[in-house]
Structure 1
């Protein structure tokens, strides 16, 4: 017989609110199932397989005028001891409460709680163990042991292990620079601290902090972005990271570091550089006259003086040529440098 019909054998009405019960039952122990909320006066007490599947796929489902609670699982044990854990999903930052229960709730002493076979605390009379803020590292197999006092067997008994998985509330954030981690100097850049809460805890809120080279830029703000309107090479180049944290600060995670290198602007461009006018044409060499050629005189001394004069003219001409070549070389080098800078 299905659980829904069994419950209706106890209660003549269907309850529309949350059905509360313990996750684990001891054989021969009495447990109370409580359905909270206003009752319905509909006569039908059981639902079809299709309706039951729909109920199990939704936390709050209505069909044919009925509203059903979330399902829960009952495990019946015949052990002397059982360990009761949370009956709902547990996330990072939640409290964890464990109960070590004896058959028919007989009194216990020297109770020890274990995780992965290692004792979490020394023996004590308390049958409850709690962790105020759990981390993912608290996941594992838990069990408890205790010694029965009268009227129990008087020996130490051990419960079966219970697997407890602490789910991730949100992944470690990743810091991204938009549009680029190498912005041009004077341009804008936006740092985005990217992470996302679990869908089951989407109603919670995260706060974000930003850091650069070991110093804080902003602390615990609701915005996941940091905007730099005008990037400066000296001021904004460096190593950045961000941090996402819950509002109570119990859970916080840091992103890997991101290097930002602001690119300096070119100081001059080819169009702005002063232009160097190319040198004009060289003056024509003086035309040799008949006297310069030595036809006017057969005196060797006079011919020698004429030859020396021609050599002086050639020297002057070569001097002009050297100056013009030097100016042309400077002009060509300047043009090549500007093209390379582009």
Structure 2
């Protein structure tokens, strides 16, 4: 799947950017491939767009500069954008289909996403029925709608999808194939301690860092910290940091990160913190 969507940059939940901020291009409508003759709206989402910024758009070997962060397109090719003083965005490879039957899919799919696949016939193509397939096996007949819904995406939904329409006289037309790869919502959190070898009685700050994909920076996370199996503090918190003001205990520390709305959580590896004596 292409690494781009509706938000701005790959970031750490600790509030520090992991890399130089990159803008991210989103599409409306958000399915690929697009249909020939239709217009796709590209939006260059970036850091601090509230202040006036020059935005440079790139299409193949052509580029132009504007103050608009949206672009209407109906031509295939690679698109990129660059906001003033930022790195260039990830590329968008846009295709327009003129086939009799086209299967459209979201740009990317993550765990627990609600996914819609659209099987679209050209206006002059009349089909008696539509069927959607996964890895050459029929999934269902699309009787009343050209859409197939995956309500809560998981790894079992990975595969090659295509649709097929029946015409008169035992003829049929097949669409393009779309590969679905369900991506991890977020990786294991990483616990860091500052300082990593504290002196007894000093302040130690634990940070639970989670690197979200640029498509899902809208996810709200909560955090919890542990020494061994003992929870520290009063429970889940929106802060990725936990402060121990009077560090006394050597031990194994870890943290949990949880996606609030999806109630999906992951635990970091344990970090051994050795407290040094004041003597």
Q: State the 1:98 CA deviation.
A: 0.5
Unaligned runs of 5+ in 1: 1-17, 36-51, 267-342
2:251 aligned residue (222, 238, 247): 238
Q: Supply the RMSD in Å over aligned alpha carbons.
A: 4.3
Is 1:54 aligned with 2:75? no
Higher helix share: 1
Q: State the 1:198 CA deviation.
A: 3.5
* CA gap 1:238/1:25 in 2 versus in 1, 3 angstroms: closer
Paired residue for 1:143?
A: 162
The higher-RCO structure (CA 8 Å, 6+ apart) is 2
Unaligned runs of 5+ in 2: 1-26, 42-54, 75-93
**Within 5 A, what are the aligned runs for 1:253-272?**
253-263=266-276
**Within 5 A, what are the aligned runs for 1:172-321?**
172-180=188-196, 182-217=197-232, 219-233=235-249, 237-249=250-262, 251-263=264-276
Q: State the 1:118 CA deviation.
A: 6.3
Higher strand share: 2
Is 246-255 or 224-233 further displaced after alignment? 246-255
Secondary structure at 1:54 match in 2: strand
> What TM-score results when the alignment is normalised by the length of structure 2?
0.57
Native 8 Å contact 1:24 1:74 kept in 2: yes
Name the count of aligned residue pairs.
215
Q: State the 1:240 CA deviation.
A: 2.5
Native 8 Å contact 1:62 1:68 kept in 2: no
* CA gap 1:259/1:249 in 2 versus in 1, 3 angstroms: farther
Native 8 Å contact 2:57 2:65 kept in 1: no
Q: Deviations over 1:193-252 (max 9, x none)?
A: 11233445445433222233334335431111111112233xxx4332222233313554
Q: State the 1:176 CA deviation.
A: 1.1
Measured in 1, the distance between the counterparts of 2:29 and 2:211 equals 31
Larger Rg: 1
> What TM-score results when the alignment is normalised by the length of structure 1?
0.48
